[in-house]
């Protein structure tokens, strides 16, 4: 799936990718000034996806299965940015940039 998922402006956003390949190769564009999170559950649920965090709000991803975040990239903004994964999971690439608090898996 090559898609751009744009979170609505003016609201915090949670994108849940709960089936196999649900958000594979998608770009998730987070809203300005509101928190944004990506939840990946299922085989390759967020494979080769990209999470684009806003500069002025916290952002992060949770990887709920071994291959859920394989190839996922997270482009952090200036606020808190994190990825949460279990031991032995394929971990996303986290680009911390100017994040005040960056926590990869």
User: Which tens digit of pLDDT belongs to each residue from 36-93?
Assistant: 999 999 999 999 999 999 999 999 999 999 999 999 999 999 999 999 998 889 999 9
Q: Give the domain ranges of the chain.
A: 4-103
Q: Does 30 have pLDDT greater than 80? A: yes
What's residue 23's pLDDT?
A: 96
- DSSP, residue by residue, the chain: ---EEEPPTTS-EEEEE-STTTTTT-EEEPPTTS-EEEEE-STTTTTT-EEE--TTS-EEEEE-STTTTTT-EEE--SS-EEEE--TTPPPPEEE-TT-SSEE--
Q: What is the pTM of this model?
A: 0.94
């Amino acid at each position: 799936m090559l898609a751009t998922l744009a979170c609505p402006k003016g609201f915090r956003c949670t994108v849940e990718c709960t089936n196999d390949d649900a958000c594979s190769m998608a770009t998730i564009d987070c809203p300005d000034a509101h928190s944004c999170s990506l939840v990946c559950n299922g085989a390759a649920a967020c494979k080769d996806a990209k999470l684009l965090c806003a500069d002025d709000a916290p952002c992060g991803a949770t990887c709920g299965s071994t291959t859920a975040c394989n190839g996922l990239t997270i482009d952090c903004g200036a606020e808190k940015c994190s990825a949460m994964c279990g031991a032995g999971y394929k971990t996303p690439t986290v680009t911390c940039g100017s994040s005040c608090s960056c926590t990869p898996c």
